[in-house]
Amino acid sequence: MLSFDTIVARATPAGKGAIAVVRVSGPNAFAMVDGLLKSKISLKNSHTAYLRQFFDAEGMIDEALVLLFKGTKSYTGEDTVEISVHGSDYIVNRLITALLQQGCRVAEPGEFTQRAFLNGKLDLAQAEAVADIIAAEHRFAHDQALKQLRGGFSDDISSLRDRLLHFTSLIELELDFGEEDVEFASRDELTHLVQNIKIKVDALKDSFALGNALKQGFTLVLAGRPNAGKSTLFNALLNEDKAIVSDIAGTTRDAIEDRLFIEGLSLRLIDTAGIREATDVIEQQGIARTFKHIEMSGATLYIFEAGTLSVPDLQADLQELSSKTDRIWVVANKMDSFSGDIGQYSDVVARETQLPMWQISARDRLSVLQFTKELAKRFEVDLGILDDQTVVTNARHANSLLICSQELQHILDGIANNLTGDLLSFHLRTAIRALSAITGDIDNEEVLGNIFSKFCIGK
């Protein structure tokens, strides 16, 4: 265990509450807390709770529950005391002041977790997951943070790194034999290994675009021609009469947005002005905004009125949209009043988007409910966020994966061009370092400081 001073901070938010927790961690944590008690606590027993009265020079501060965690068995990896007082800012401040007089220091943001990392209780990716799990506001973000906290992501990274390390040592052994021209590391095997690892690294790296969008809140834009039923569907999904609906084409003139939660995902749902040749300047601006939203969207839900829109017009719309966004999901609306051949529409949609078309009636509750379920399924299946899949949600990790991927490419090119062992070994080592940086084998204090300063105090 590394040796530090003893730190104190409140671990629960400010304000009134049933209880507030003050946390003390460091080599003198027990003694400093004990200094405020008349009735002493036994320091022998870890994981024990005591009900005790706390005193300072003025008198009694509060009666509180004291939890002891000894040495390596604590969150931080050092002696820790958690004191649950009555949830009053006055009591908390007075207790912390008394502990400061005992010799504690006020903790920096994230310092408890930083100590956990430095004492080897968590690797860096796990420590970062602590901040993510506190920030998670919906199931997807929570699931990913939990997976990362429990070490699943770190295990994936470590196993990739170990395989690269094995080959590096073989190549470096060749270098030791210098002149003798031996080859311990078969170039064919190395190529095969690096290709395999690169596929995994790239998949993780590429999952960040989606992971980040989902963590922040994925943007889903409703777009289509006037009167297609965009605002009707917007209101139905939100279960709220938020946007004006009318049979006058061009009703919605400005974009309207709200947050939509479906199946544990947080979406930014945006209703937009219908796309057509504008009839006035305001509508023109509204339509320009529609296109801007489409370009920035995670996915665009393109809605059309079955029966009214011609098949060639549908095709033209989809082709125009595909120049602005990668993900177009198509909905045929007003199926309640349509009696023609829907196949001609779905064929075009399948051809242009490679995805099936939904058929709904935005006015019908049951139809919208069914649609919501299918929408959730599309997120899970088509966007690849199934439960067992690792999705990268942290920009620092994505950047390290990018560096690793580039180095792996250098190695592949190098083998093809008969690059010497020492240069291969250099690229292998850089690739390994990039992976190591994710789980925290880095010695750069600035990087560590930057990561932990984003935590809240007391964490």
Ligand X SMILES: Nc1nc2c(ncn2[C@@H]2O[C@H](COP(=O)(O)OP(=O)(O)OP(=O)(O)O)[C@@H](O)[C@H]2O)c(=O)[nH]1
| Residue 293, token pair as written in the block | 């939203």
Residues of this chain, 362-381, that bind ligand X according to CB under 6 A: 362-363
DSSP-assigned letters across all residues of 409-433: HHHHHHHHTT--HHHHHHHHHHHHH
Q: Which is nearer to ligand X, 337 or 370 (CB)?
A: 337
Spatial separation of the C-alpha atoms in residues 91 and 228, rounded to whole Å: 60
Q: Cβ 387 to ligand X, closest distance in Å?
A: 34
Residue 289 interacts with which of ligand X, Mg ion, none, CB < 5 to 8 Å by class: none
Q: In whole angstroms, how close is the CB of 331 to ligand X at the nearest point?
A: 10
Q: Tell me the per-residue interface mask from 324 to 363 with ligand X, x by CB under 6 A, - otherwise.
A: ---------xx-xx-----------------------xxx
Residue 181's φ and ψ, nearest 5 degrees, are 60, 45
Tell me the closest approach of the beta carbon of residue 273 to Mg ion, in angstroms. Answer: 7
How many other C-beta atoms can be found within 10 angstroms of the C-beta atom of residue 44? 8
Which helix (H) or strand (E) segment holds residue 311: the answer is helix 311-322
Closest residue to ligand X: CB criterion: 274
Backbone angles phi, psi at 221, to 5 degrees: -105, 130
Least distance between ligand X and beta carbon 334 (Å) = 4
Cα–Cα nearest to 257, from 248, 249, 266: 266
In the sheet with 218-224, reading across from the earlier edge strand, the strands are 256-262, 265-271, 218-224, 299-305, 328-333, 358-359
The CB-of-355 to ligand X minimum distance in angstroms stands at 21
At its nearest, how many Å lie between ligand X and the CB of residue 368? 9
Which is closer to ligand X, CB of 346 or CB of 430? 346
Q: What is the DSSP letter of 77?
A: S
Site for ligand X in 254-283 (CB under 6 A): 273-274
The residue (of 201 and 273) whose beta carbon lies closer to Mg ion is 273
Q: Specify the residue, 251 or 322, whose C-beta has the smaller distance to ligand X.
A: 251
Residues that bind Mg ion in the complex, under the rule CB under 5 A: 230-231, 251-252
Residue 250 interaction partner, one of ligand X, Mg ion, none, beta carbon < 5-8 Å per kind:
ligand X
292 phi and psi angles, rounded to 5 deg: -60, -45
Indicate which single residue of 252, 393, 394, 439 sits in contact with ligand X (rule: CB under 6 A). 252
Output the smallest distance, CB 229 to ligand X, in A.
Answer: 3
**Nearest residue to 148 via CA among 126, 176, 169, 181:** 126
Alpha helices, H only, 20-123? 29-34, 89-101, 111-118
Nearest CB to Mg ion, comparing residues 111 and 283: 283
Q: Which does 207 bind (CB under 5 to 8 A by kind): ligand X, Mg ion, none?
A: none
- Element (DSSP H or E) covering residue 328: strand 328-333
H or E, element range at 281: helix 281-296
Window 208-247: contact mask with ligand X (x via CB under 6 A): ------------------xxxxxxx------------xxx
Q: Which is nearer to ligand X, 60 or 244 (CB)?
A: 244
CB of 376 to ligand X, least distance (A): 20
Q: Nearer Cβ to ligand X, position 109 or 226?
A: 226
DSSP string, 189-239: HHHHHHHHHHHHHHHHHHHHHHHHHHHH-EEEEEEESTTSSHHHHHHHHHT
Strand duo 80-87 + 59-69: pairing: antiparallel
Q: Which is nearer to ligand X, 306 or 348 (CB)?
A: 306
Q: Least CB distance from residue 265 to ligand X, whole Å?
A: 24
Q: Measured from the CB atom, is 226 or 307 closer to Mg ion?
A: 226
CB of 337 to ligand X, least distance (A): 4
Residue closer to ligand X by CB (options 239, 337) is 337
Number of residues that bind ligand X (CB under 6 A): 23
Picked from ligand X, Mg ion, none, the partner binding residue 280 (CB below 5 to 8 A depending on kind) is: none
| Residue 219 interacts with, from Mg ion, ligand X, none (CB under 5-8 Å by kind) | none
Q: Which positions from 153 through 212 interact with ligand X, judged by CB under 6 A?
A: none
Instruction: Note whether 162 and 191 are within 8 A (CB).
Output: no
Q: Which is nearer to ligand X, 71 or 307 (CB)?
A: 307
Task: Say how far apart CA 449 and CA 267 lie, in whole Å.
Answer: 32
Q: By CB under 6 A, tell whether 144 contacts ligand X.
A: no
Cα separation of 332 and 48, whole Å? 63
* Whole-angstrom distance, CA of residue 205 vs CA of residue 198: 10
Residue spans of alpha helices (H) in 11-138: 29-34, 89-101, 111-118, 124-135
**Contact set with ligand X (CB under 6 A):** 226-232, 245-247, 249-252, 273-274, 333-334, 336-337, 361-363
